[in-house]
Structure 1
């Protein structure tokens, strides 16, 4: 499936296809980012980890803390693969390990995650919804720049989905970054493609260019403006239903 996903299940399916492609291409440090407010990450992780089994890879899963890891073990039926907290990563890599899934690592653990990735050379590290780049934690000075150049720049976002008001940012490896706009018919049209993640200014420029290109004749439709509908509203409704 290509284009904007119409449900969380569709988004996860796209993410798995992109991750398979990245592993096939030999990318070692992979990011999967589904940026949706109130997203419950454990059910997403439960649908993501089977991609390692599909490829016959020996893997381990790491959650933000031991409590979340224990809950996952229980909810997932105490699977055979290892599930631990991020604080238990050090010294846990074994010779037959081939891949790792790290769930929501934060900027607090960025140094531990960097050390782990360095130790895991030759293996695949997939991070699901990482929050590694928090300016309040890593700073904007020399140390922060060094971290970005040394580590964060080595991470490849192979799947990225972020619904905004009236637009959606989407990236599916190996394709480019895309900005999709919502139409009056609650459908989507591709507004632009970028080699890297587009900034807010770049997205605003796309909408401005579209408005300028719209004919201003009497009775003509008004230029489309960002509106909170479509995918964003659908996913918010889906997540509210899950929490009930």
Structure 2
């Protein structure tokens, strides 16, 4: 059964909601990566990025070698020709804010096509450790970038952002008086209203999993409304969590579709932006900061898939440094599989 918008109850959005669920599985934990994130957030809203620039240059805090060519007038023809060629990594964002905006666009496309439950994950170390000084403030600012991008993509005027605690929600509501979305917290008596047409849970954690499930169930009622979880942390590695609880949690997360995923690896990256396929990249040894496409997949690659992909790349590359990096990837994936099998 599907419900189309707009209708008398939801006049502000134009999309179709389907009750069907996806079999995409959300990973239970992630291995640490060696990526360093540049902390500054640009105020530019729609800046274009040249394809010859190094990918994730602001993540790594390095100046791409191609920028040196920009200062040489004799290279202008070479630059023009390079820009006309579709690069393997042209789909990848060039900085953190670009990734967040791209994730908002992907989520908006998913909702507009009838999707009901979505997950957006930016598996970047700086966004994974909220206890670090200044990390939460930056995370909230990035969440606003996502929300504004989502609203721009869907043209929806009634978006509700649900934050993990009342303190953060109250502070942001005070600071963001000009926000085009409403704010609540998971600990509120009624975090979601009937008037809310798209609900975004910002970094929901495992301690509030029961509240998250209740909200998801309420949004599934007629008329169904989209629910997006932005960088959820619903998995706890506590030994005391029973098998049945873990099983129910896995089933709940399996009803969501991962519409955007950015996961850097020591020698590459795993990437997906709806409606595109999952893509596995490896470092381009001839162009630092750039990636080459190793493989595209319909579903999220697991540890076995990545082991085969990076193993094949390593076999065709005799560079010892790449072999060392590939070994590091396989080692981290082994730890990852051990963690989720507990």
Fold agreement, TM-score > 0.5: yes
What are the within-5 Å matches in structure 2 for residues 30-45 of structure 1? 30-39=118-127, 40-45=138-143
1:91 is the counterpart of 2:179: no
- Native 8 Å contact 1:100 1:125 kept in 2: yes
Of 176, 181, 206 in structure 2, the residue corresponding to residue 107 of structure 1 is 206
Distance 2:264 2:308 in 1: 17
Distance 2:97 2:306 in 1: 26
Q: Which has the higher Rg, Structure 1 or Structure 2? A: 2
Distance 1:137 1:24 in 2: 40
Shift in CA distance, 6/53, structure 1 to aligned 2, threshold 3 Å: closer
CA shift for structure 1 position 47: 0.5
Higher strand share: 1
Distance 1:137 1:44 in 2: 32
User: Partner residue of 1:206?
Assistant: 309
User: Partner residue of 1:141?
Assistant: 243
Shift in CA distance, 64/194, structure 1 to aligned 2, threshold 3 Å: same
- Native 8 Å contact 1:52 1:99 kept in 2: no
Question: Deviations along 1:31-66, whole A, 9 cap, x unmatched?
Answer: 111111123311111111124533123121111111
Of 265, 271, 282 in structure 2, the residue corresponding to residue 181 of structure 1 is 282
Shift in CA distance, 137/68, structure 1 to aligned 2, threshold 3 Å: farther
Shift in CA distance, 62/93, structure 1 to aligned 2, threshold 3 Å: closer
Unaligned runs of 5+ in 2: 1-48, 50-89, 128-137, 327-342
1:48 is the counterpart of 2:146: yes
Shift in CA distance, 53/16, structure 1 to aligned 2, threshold 3 Å: closer
Question: Deviations along 1:161-219, whole A, 9 cap, x unmatched?
Answer: 011211111111112211111112121001122222222342232121112234x6xxx
User: Partner residue of 2:115?
Assistant: 27
Of 233, 248, 256 in structure 2, the residue corresponding to residue 155 of structure 1 is 256
Distance 2:111 2:225 in 1: 10
User: If the length of structure 1 is used for normalisation, what is the TM-score?
Assistant: 0.81
1:123 is the counterpart of 2:221: no
- Native 8 Å contact 2:107 2:259 kept in 1: yes
Report the RMSD for the aligned CA atoms in angstroms: 2.4
Where 1:175 maps in the other structure, the secondary structure is coil
Of 182, 194, 197 in structure 2, the residue corresponding to residue 82 of structure 1 is 182
User: If the length of structure 2 is used for normalisation, what is the TM-score?
Assistant: 0.59
Shift in CA distance, 21/140, structure 1 to aligned 2, threshold 3 Å: farther
Distance 2:109 2:240 in 1: 31
Distance 1:99 1:147 in 2: 23
Distance 2:139 2:210 in 1: 22
- Native 8 Å contact 2:103 2:273 kept in 1: yes
